[in-house]
Amino acid sequence: MSDTALVYLLACYTAFLATGHAIGLKSIKSGTIDGYLLTIAKFLKNFDEKVDRDARMFSGSQVIAPPIKKVIEEMKRFEKQPNRREPWTLQLQSRLVKETEDEPADSLAKSGCQWFIVVFPAGCRRIEWCQPYASRDPSKVPDLNAAKDTYAFCVDDIQFLGASHSRISKPHAIDHRQEVRYVELTFRMQKNGINGEVKRYARNRTTPSLDAVEHWIVIIERFHRLVGLEEKQRPLAIYYDYDKKKVQNICSDDSKRLLQNTVRLEYGITDIKDLSKWTNHSIRVGMACLLQAQGKAGDYIQRVLRWRSETWKLYTRNLWSESIDLSNTMTNEMESINDLLSAY
């Protein structure tokens, strides 16, 4: 076997281990995998026709080959990731809804609140819906994907459906909202590599304030009124700046400020360092935590939030639900012990 083929074979095995396919199907540390690879390299030398060849390295090299090294480095990056992102929660979302009730219909606060409602269940990344600070001005080039298209949601990424799953045009959806039962979102470009993935979301009749379908209609109506549905490459996340009297793109600074201000009001946190734990990624973290707290299976969380690996586990640590569950478990166990003792 050639050096290149052997290196890539071990790289595949490294990735296989890194995704939890070790003995007992348990996650293992990058250092443990390093040890596995060293052992394999030593073992193979006993049968290798090439003297002193290290299966982890390309010919003539004294360092671990890049295909293997990149997997190990990615594992180390995840292992070192601090527990710094606090989750966006339904409690915070409800507070934001309350705080923006009397805001003008197209204001940053009102529009931002509506966007939080629609991206929360989808666990959207910042780049999938709003712009960096430099692109707040619509005349600036927005974030582009690898295909040089607008990365964030645009008009054609949103499709409304009726009761029989029939497609409903956007003008018709705006004028006849009650006919809309579902919305489909197309993620044209994703970090997980599944480009063009479509996700469907249903009406929330029980809690209208959190009904993503209704708020998608509001967002489309605003865009239709302020920009025009014919603007196919324009980011959908916009608001009207009443001071400057112009339409602006919602940017990451806007959403982070709105998010952290809600945390300050609801939790009473004022320390800047503590508030910095809530970022735009808190929305994605929050939905992962919510699903975990509801007892959803890992493969369900990965599928719903569009992860290809178990990365989501990095975000579901130190959950309130787990602390409460632990306390309840101890209480229940103590009651069982007391029942046993009282029987004697």
Q: List pLDDT tens digits, range 81-125.
A: 655 678 999 999 999 999 999 999 999 999 999 999 999 999 999
Mean pLDDT of 228-245: 97
Mean pLDDT of 59-74: 89
User: What is the pLDDT of the chain when averaged over all its residues?
Assistant: 89
Q: pLDDT tens for residues 275-316? A: 998 999 999 999 999 998 888 999 999 999 998 888 788 777
Supply the pLDDT for residue 315.
77
Contact present, 139 and 192 (Cβ < 8 Å) = no
Percent pLDDT > 90 in the chain is: 64
Q: pLDDT tens for residues 14-49? A: 888 876 665 554 567 888 889 999 999 999 888 888
DSSP string spanning 78-96? HHH--S--PPP-HHHHHHH
Q: Which residue has the higher pLDDT, 248 or 327?
A: 248
**Domain 90-304, CATH among 2.60.110.10, 2.120.10.30, 1.10.443.10, 1.10.1040.10:** 1.10.443.10
Tokens of 28: 């293992």
Mean pLDDT of 6-18: 87
- Alpha-carbon distances, residue 49 vs 1, 42, 227 (angstroms): 9, 14, 69
Q: Which of 210, 159, 157, 203 is nearest to 178 (CA)?
A: 203
